[in-house]
A and B are shown apart, each in its own frame.
Chain A
Amino acid sequence: MSIGLLALQGDFREHRATLRRFGIEALEVRLPQQLAAVSHLIIPGGESTTIGRLLTRYALVEPLRARAGHDLAIWGTCAGAIILARELRDTKHGGQPTLGLMDITLRRNAFGSQLDSFEAPINAPVLGPTPLPGVFIRAPRFESLGPKVQALATLPDGEVVAARQGRLMATTFHPELTDDDRVHRYFLEL
């Protein structure tokens, strides 16, 4: 098993710090040959328009699509979830590239501006009874989940904030900004 962090832009160093806590040294992935060396890939939080543009420009889209879900597990946090989604609402003017790997529809910046960014407890039964600390920053919202997609976690009002489709996982919050590493451990088992 070899863990990669898509290091085009965003908070990949925070993910690296979390993984280090349980002795895993993750590889930074910016080019196709670096991607070839990993079995698990985390797409971090950041700006989805920036990450999407660089993915296309540096020929990462095709190798990602070819391997995703088969010999490559992928987890996207926030912007990373947007990159994984099949359909987007409120994209930038003229649309924006995504990998379109998970059968989910996400609405970008769906809670409002930065002033509406928030923290709230998250229920994730697969990770045990203790709620996860949820940090939501200009977060997207799940608008729909396809038939093969399983909801993993919800806000107290029942809104889905994490989902899984086989070896692909999307969270609209940021476990890497908290001390709770259960989502990272769960991903390593994927």
Chain B
Amino acid sequence: MEKSTWKTRVGLAQMLKGGVIMDVVTPEQARIAEEAGAVAVMALERVPADIRAQGGVARMSDPELILAIKEAVTIPVMAKVRIGHFVEAQILEALGIDYIDESEVLTPADEEHHINKHKFQIPFVCGCKNIGEGLRRVAEGAAMLRTKGEAGTGNVVEAVRHARTVYSEVRRLQSMNEDELFVYAKNIQAPYELVRQVAETGSLPVVNFAAGGIATPADAALMMQLGVDGLFVGSGIFKSGDPQQRARAIVEATTYYNDPAIIAKVSKGLGEAMVGIEINQIPAEQLMAQRGW
């Protein structure tokens, strides 16, 4: 018997497909998320909208809170570490949680290196804006990707940009010959072997979810129709008027993303969505998607 192999790490992400992973800050919220049909929860002290509003350095959450959330639910529990902060990752691995998000939502701990994720037994998910960034993360050992979007804004525009970019690059790679693939791999600073694999299979080497700005069932279905495998919803649920009902509606819109009649039905009477932010109102140094290299 071999524990925590590459296949089981990538495999858990495959089991999450077609589902919604919800940010929660208390065990009670985690229960609401599980009850609404979330496939996993992200345990945090503050959702991205609050991190954005309060400023300061955002770090890994208190292990006590993460464990209390793990106790409350039976679905997988994920937690975030700062980019490059491999000791925060060692702590989460020691806690026995299910997945680590090396996340731009927290303040980066290293401006050059991401975590060498091959050194861990626990699987990692990482953010990307384009295929080069995504394949660099896979080369470092990420078993799952998510497009970054712009977290804590309730504005889906960046999530759309990043998903469209990734999948249009996948399609472009499929039309290239070997000579062109060598140059393309060099230009996007990604390992040639992974670039060639994407060109051959027409898909990313690991599961890819969307994240960052999804606030409505329509946003959820939009991202699914653009081709992502599932969704992370951060502030969009528990910063809204009726989290329980919105959570259920987003789950159903994710399953029935190709059925406008059902999306219309679940979108009715959800109360207030979270307050959104225009991306161009955010000072450049506060854009989270630009963190990571």
By a beta-carbon cutoff of 8 Å, the part of chain A in contact with chain B is: 7-14, 30, 45-47, 49-50, 53-54, 57, 78-79, 90-94, 108-109, 112-120, 135-138, 155, 174, 177
Contact = CB atoms under 8 A, between A and B. Distances in A.
Interface string B113-149: 0000000011100000000000000000000000000
A114 B98 contact: yes
B259 to A, nearest CB: 8
Nearest to B5: A119
A155 B1 CA distance: 9
A8 B15 CA distance: 12
B96 to A, nearest CB: 5
A53 B88 CA distance: 35
Contact of A117 (B3, B72, B97): B3
Contacts, number: 132
A78 B4 contact: no
B98 A119 contact: no
B74 A109 contact: yes
B14 A45 contact: yes
A11 B14 contact: yes
B37 A49 contact: yes
Contacts of B73: 92-93
Contacts of B31: 93
A174 to B, nearest CB: 7
Contact of B11 (A108, A120, A135): A135
Contacts of B35: 92, 94
Interface string B1-13: 1111101110110
Interface string B269-282: 00000000000000
Interface string B75-109: 11000000000000000010011110000000000
A64 B250 CA distance: 25
B34 interface: yes
Given A45-B15, A113-B96, A135-B11, A118 B5 contact: yes
For chain A, what secondary structure do more than half of its interface residues adopt (helix, strand, loop), or is it mixed? loop
B39 A9 contact: yes
25 contacts: A9-B39, A10-B18, A10-B19, A13-B17, A30-B255, A30-B256, A46-B15, A46-B19, A46-B39, A53-B251, A54-B251, A57-B252, A79-B15, A114-B12, A117-B3, A117-B12, A118-B2, A118-B3, A119-B1, A119-B8, A120-B2, A136-B8, A137-B8, A137-B15, A177-B7
A113 B37 contact: no
B38 interface: yes
A49 B73 CA distance: 11
A14 B8 contact: no
Nearest to A13: B17
Contact of A90 (B36, B72, B74, B252): B74
Contacts of A92: 34-35, 73-75
Interface string B244-278: 00000001101110010000000000000000000
B16 interface: yes
Residue among A49, A78, A91, A136 with the highest chain B CB neighbour number at 10 A: A49
